C-alpha cells in the first residue's frame, strides 16, 4: 500500500504544532541576527545603532525577494506533492534555486554600484552615512547565502521535514551569535571591525545556513531530487512560483518602504526616535516570529490538502492556527505593556530613548491582536494559491493608512501621538481580512 503523507493523516493539532514549533524556534533564533547585531552595535555608539536602523529597510527588501521566491516554491511544491507528482516537484525546486541565484546577483551588483549612494540618501550625517554604507556593502555583495538558504529551507518545509528546516536556520544563527562580539570588538586575536564586523558575522552565518541546506536536501529529502538531469528553466514553472511569490515580495517590500518612510517622519524629530523605531521593529519581529512560524506551517498543510481536495482538513488547520496566533499576540501585548523599560535597556537605551520608547511600546502593542488575525489570514490564503490577500492585508497594515496617519498625528501631537496610527491601520486590516477570508471560503473551498 502507498505510504500516506502526514499532511493528510496526522491529527491536526499535533500536525500544526509539530510543523510550527520547529519553525517558531528557528525563526526566533534567526531573528536574533538583527537583534544581536543591534545589541552589540549599540555598545559602540547611538550613531552606529542609527546607522543599522537606516540600513534595515534595504535588508528587509533583500529578505522580501528571498522570502517571496521561497514562499512561491513552497506553495507550488506542496500542492504538487499533494498530487503525488514527485518528478515535477523536483523541477519546481530546481527552478526556485536558479531564481534565488539570479536575485542574489542583482543585489550584489546593486551593492557594488550603489551602497554608498543609498546610505547618503538616508541621512546628511557624514559619520552615520559612512557606517551605514560599510554595513550595507557587505550585506548586499555577499547576499547569496541569504537568498539561497531561504529556498533550501522551504524545500524541506514543503516535504513536511520541519525539524531539518529548523536546523538550516539555527546553524547560521549560532555562527552569527558567536562571531558578532568576536568581529565587532576584536576578540580572540581578530581585529576590531566595529559595524563592519556585525555585517560580516551576519553574512557568514547566512552562508553556513546555505551550505547546511544544500547538504540536508541532498541527503535527507528524497521526495525532492536536485540532480539537475533534464532540467530546463520553463516560464510556466516560473509563473507558478511567482503567482504567489510576487504578492509576497510586494508584501515584504512594503515593510521595507514603511520603515524607510517612518524613519523619514521621525528623523526631523530626532535621531534618537529613529534609533528607537529600529529597536522596536526588531523587538516586534522577534515577537511576531512565533506567529510567522504558525503561518508558515499552515502554508504547506493547506497547500497539500488543497491539492488533495480535502476541505475538512483545511478548515481544521485554519481554526487551530487562528487560536494559537491569538494567544501569542495577547502574551506579546502583556510583555510590551509591562516590560518596556527592561526591553529597551537591552539595547543600552539612553534616558531620551526611554522617554520616547516606553510609552510608544504600550500604545503600539494594543494593535498586536488584530495584526495576528490579518497575518494568519494572509498565510492561509497563500496556501490556497492566493497571494493577493496577503499583499493587500500588509498594504493596509503597513502602508496606507499607517503612514499618512502617522505623519498627520506627528504634526498634531508630536512623537507621542503618531504611534496611534498603528491602531487605525490594524483595524482597517482586520476588516479587510474578515471579508476576504469569507470570499475565499465561497470561491476556493466550495469547489472541493
Q: What CA–CA distances, in Å, run from 252 to 65, 68, 394, 426?
A: 8, 8, 8, 17
pLDDT value for 2? 45
Give percent of the chain with pLDDT exceeding 90: 54
pLDDT(422) > 90 = yes
Max mean pLDDT range (118-127, 296-305, 324-333): 324-333
Question: Is residue 8 classed as helix, strand or coil in its secondary structure?
Answer: helix
Instruction: Name 246's Cβ contacts closer than 8 Å, sequence gap at least 6.
Output: 68, 72, 387
Instruction: Name 2's Cβ contacts closer than 8 Å, sequence gap at least 6.
Output: none
User: First CA to last CA across the chain, in angstroms?
Assistant: 25
The Cα–Cα gap between 441 and 345 comes to: 46
User: What integer is the mean pLDDT of 316-338?
Assistant: 96
Cell (9 digits) for 86: 514527485
pLDDT value for 123? 85
Q: Which of 127-131, 134-138, 304-308, 320-324 has the lowest mean pLDDT?
A: 304-308
Q: Which of 38-47, 247-256, 337-346 has the lowest mean pLDDT?
A: 247-256
Cell (9 digits) for 47: 550613531
The Cα–Cα gap between 93 and 81 comes to: 11
pLDDT(30) > 70 = no
Nearest to 227 by CA among 87, 37, 56: 87
User: What integer is the mean pLDDT of 247-273?
Assistant: 86
Q: pLDDT by residue (tens digit) across 186-231?
A: 999 999 999 999 999 999 999 999 999 999 999 998 888 887 776 7
Q: pLDDT by residue (tens digit) across 267-306?
A: 888 889 988 998 998 899 888 888 988 998 898 899 889 9
Cell (9 digits) for 62: 533583500
pLDDT value for 107? 96
pLDDT averaged over every residue in the chain: 90
User: For residue 2, what is the DSSP state?
Assistant: P
pLDDT value for 379? 92
What stretch of H or E contains 277?
helix 271-307
User: For residue 43, what is the DSSP state?
Assistant: T
Contacts for 106-113: CB closer than 8 Å, 24+ residues apart: 107/62, 107/65, 107/140, 107/143, 107/147, 108/140, 108/141, 108/142, 108/143, 108/144, 110/140, 111/136, 111/137, 111/139, 111/140, 111/141, 111/143, 112/137, 112/140, 112/141
CA atoms within 13 A on the CB side of 322: 17
User: What integer is the mean pLDDT of 13-41?
Assistant: 81
Higher-confidence residue: 337 or 243? 337
Q: pLDDT by residue (tens digit) across 333-381?
A: 999 999 999 999 998 889 999 999 999 999 999 999 999 999 999 999 9
Instruction: Name 89's Cβ contacts closer than 8 Å, sequence gap at least 6.
Output: 77, 80, 81, 158, 223, 224
Nearest to 224 by CA among 166, 291, 283, 152: 152
pLDDT value for 251? 77
Nearest to 120 by CA among 59, 67, 55, 62: 55
Q: pLDDT by residue (tens digit) across 373-404?
A: 999 999 999 889 888 898 899 889 888 899 99
| 4 φ/ψ angles, rounded to the nearest 5 degrees | -90, 145
pLDDT value for 160? 80
Neighbours of 219 (CB within 10 A): 9
- Which string of b and e fits 193-202 if b means at least 16 CB within 10 Å? bbbbbbbbbb
DSSP letter string, 114-143 = HHHHHHHHH-S-HHHHHHHHHHHHHHHHTT
C-beta separation of 387 from 246 below 8 A: yes
The Cα–Cα gap between 296 and 157 comes to: 9
Higher-confidence residue: 116 or 230? 116
Instruction: Name 207's Cβ contacts closer than 8 Å, sequence gap at least 6.
Output: 142, 144, 145, 172
Instruction: Name 135's Cβ contacts closer than 8 Å, sequence gap at least 6.
Output: 51, 52, 55, 195, 196, 198, 199
Amino acid at each position: 500500500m502507498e505510504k500516506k503523507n502526514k499532511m493528510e493523516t496526522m491529527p491536526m493539532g499535533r500536525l500544526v504544532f509539530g510543523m510550527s514549533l520547529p519553525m517558531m524556534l528557528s525563526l526566533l533564533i534567526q531573528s536574533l541576527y538583527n537583534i544581536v547585531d543591534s545589541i552589540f552595535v549599540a555598545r559602540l555608539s547611538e550613531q552606529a545603532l542609527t546607522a543599522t536602523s537606516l540600513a534595515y529597510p534595504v535588508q528587509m527588501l533583500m529578505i522580501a525577494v528571498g522570502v517571496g521566491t521561497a514562499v512561491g516554491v513552497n506553495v507550488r511544491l506542496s500542492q504538487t506533492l499533494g498530487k503525488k507528482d514527485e518528478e515535477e516537484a523536483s523541477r519546481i525546486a530546481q527552478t526556485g534555486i536558479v531564481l534565488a541565484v539570479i536575485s542574489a546577483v542583482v543585489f550584489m551588483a546593486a551593492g557594488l554600484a550603489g551602497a554608498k549612494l543609498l546610505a547618503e540618501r538616508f541621512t546628511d550625517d557624514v559619520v552615520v552615512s559612512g557606517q551605514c554604507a560599510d554595513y550595507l556593502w557587505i550585506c548586499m555583495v555577499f547576499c547569496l547565502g541569504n537568498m539561497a538558504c531561504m529556498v533550501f529551507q522551504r524545500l524541506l518545509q514543503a516535504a513536511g521535514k520541519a525539524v531539518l528546516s529548523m536546523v538550516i536556520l539555527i546553524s547560521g544563527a549560532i555562527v552569527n551569535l558567536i562571531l558578532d562580539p568576536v568581529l565587532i570588538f576584536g576578540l580572540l586575536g581578530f581585529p576590531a571591525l566595529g559595524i563592519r564586523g556585525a555585517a560580516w558575522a551576519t553574512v557568514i552565518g547566512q552562508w553556513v545556513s546555505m551550505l547546511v541546506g544544500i547538504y540536508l536536501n541532498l541527503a535527507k529529502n528524497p521526495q525532492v531530487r536536485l540532480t539537475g538531469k533534464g532540467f530546463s528553466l520553463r516560464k510556466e514553472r516560473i509563473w507558478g512560483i511567482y503567482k504567489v511569490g510576487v504578492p509576497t515580495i510586494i508584501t515584504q517590500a512594503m515593510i521595507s518602504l514603511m520603515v524607510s518612510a517612518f524613519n523619514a517622519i521621525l528623523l526631523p524629530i530626532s535621531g534618537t526616535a529613529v534609533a528607537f523605531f529600529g529597536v522596536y521593529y526588531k523587538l516586534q519581529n522577534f515577537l511576531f516570529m512565533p506567529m510567522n512560524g504558525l503561518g508558515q506551517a499552515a502554508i504547506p498543510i493547506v497547500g497539500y490538502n488543497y491539492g488533495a481536495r480535502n476541505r475538512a482538513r483545511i478548515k481544521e488547520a485554519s481554526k487551530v492556527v487562528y487560536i494559537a496566533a491569538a494567544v501569542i499576540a495577547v502574551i506579546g501585548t502583556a510583555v510590551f505593556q509591562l516590560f518596556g523599560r527592561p526591553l529597551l535597556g537591552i539595547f543600552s537605551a539612553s534616558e531620551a530613548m526611554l522617554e520616547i520608547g516606553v510609552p510608544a511600546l504600550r500604545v503600539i502593542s494594543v494593535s498586536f491582536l488584530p495584526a495576528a488575525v490579518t497575518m494568519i489570514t494572509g498565510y492561509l490564503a497563500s496556501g490556497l494559491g492566493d497571494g493577493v490577500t496577503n499583499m493587500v492585508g500588509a498594504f493596509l497594515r503597513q502602508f496606507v493608512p499607517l503612514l499618512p496617519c502617522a505623519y498627520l498625528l506627528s504634526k498634531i501631537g508630536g512623537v507621542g501621538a503618531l504611534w496611534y496610527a498603528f491602531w487605525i491601520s490594524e483595524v482597517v486590516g482586520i476588516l479587510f481580512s474578515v471579508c476576504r477570508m469569507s470570499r475565499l471560503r465561497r470561491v476556493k473551498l466550495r469547489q472541493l
